[in-house]
A and B are shown apart, each in its own frame.
Chain A
Amino acid sequence: MGDLDSDGRPDGCALVTGASRGIGAAIARGLAEDGWAVGVNYRSDSDGAEEVVRKLEEGGGHALALQADVSDPNAADALFPPLEERFGPVLVLVNNAGMRADGLAPQMEDEAWEKVLETNLSAPFRLTRRALKGMMKARFGRIVNIASIVGQKANPGQANYAASKAGLIAFSSTVAAEVARRSVTVNAVAPGLVETELTEGIGDEILRAVPARRTGTPEEVAACVRFLASEEASYVNGTTLTVDGGLTA
């Protein structure tokens, strides 16, 4: 078992995939505020990732930018060893990186299906498998998978994305039941419409469907992740926390 820090949790670090901007960057900032050293994974936006790291370090935190395309089956080898060497075992894993390739199912190409499933579902599986080694040994771990309300409610044009996110929710609850007795929790967060580059310029008509009449912010999603990653959430396991302003209520 690892050493305990002043908060009573084992020494280690957090890894956030897809953290160079948007929700992932907000999660990285939040976890750093909670005292975690953070691995900031990015696929292509090195400037964005370095900027996130710079700000975390300016705020007194510790962070490391890590390039890897999570859909690469060997991504774990690029992400875990550098973090473990510098900050200790990865005790918080946030599988945030994701992609979309929308289209109606009758016309969807195999490639659009496979790419989305590989990035949004297979990658979290591989990274979770790798992270569990250190977490089980430490008898502490927090895995948070960023799903989507589309995994719970139909959204035509996103059969691949919906299947990946529904799969991620089922994956989370199943692994949670497998490893709960090692004090490892695995939960999902399902955001609705969140203000990111992907939702820029969405019309008022869509927003009228949201009871809150606005998009959410990356920080509001990050707040849920911070809670699930905290000591206080030790008995919250295998659940999905929906963050959608009431859209699916």
Chain B
Amino acid sequence: MPTANKDQIEERMTEALVSFGAERDQVKREADWESLDVDSLDLVELAQIVEEEYGVKMREEDMKQLKTVGDAVDFVAERADS
């Protein structure tokens, strides 16, 4: 699985969230899912992308702890490096 730095992960997640319908200029590290109108199905698909591209499994219980874009980026960055 390719390694990726935090900026690359954030860029890929932003791209995914925009494809789900979020406004690009609203996607910031501190933005929470609700403010981006990201729903549970979007998060399932985000988890699928993360698993396929970074080999990081985001389980349902993990997702519940991740409230913002920054939380998710940090979660993936920590595990993608390990």
Contacts and interface: CB of A to CB of B under 8 A. Distances in A.
Interface of A: 133, 136-137, 178-179, 181-182
A203 to B, nearest CB: 49
A184 to B, nearest CB: 10
A137 B16 CA distance: 11
Interface in B12-54: 41, 45, 48
Nearest to A139: B19
Nearest to B39: A181
B48 A178 contact: no
Main secondary structure of the interface of B (DSSP, over half): helix
Interface of B: 41, 45, 48
Q: Chain A: interface secondary structure?
A: helix
Contact of B41 (A133, A137, A182): A182
7 contacts: A133-B48, A136-B45, A136-B48, A137-B48, A178-B41, A179-B41, A182-B41
A182 B48 CA distance: 14
A206 to B, nearest CB: 44
B48 A181 contact: no
Contacts of A179: 41
A178 B41 CA distance: 7
Given A136-B48, A137-B48, A178-B41, 7 more contacts: A133-B48, A136-B45, A137-B45, A179-B41, A181-B41, A182-B41, A182-B45
B52 to A, nearest CB: 9
Nearest to B40: A178
A194 B66 CA distance: 51
Contacts of A181: 41
B39 to A, nearest CB: 9
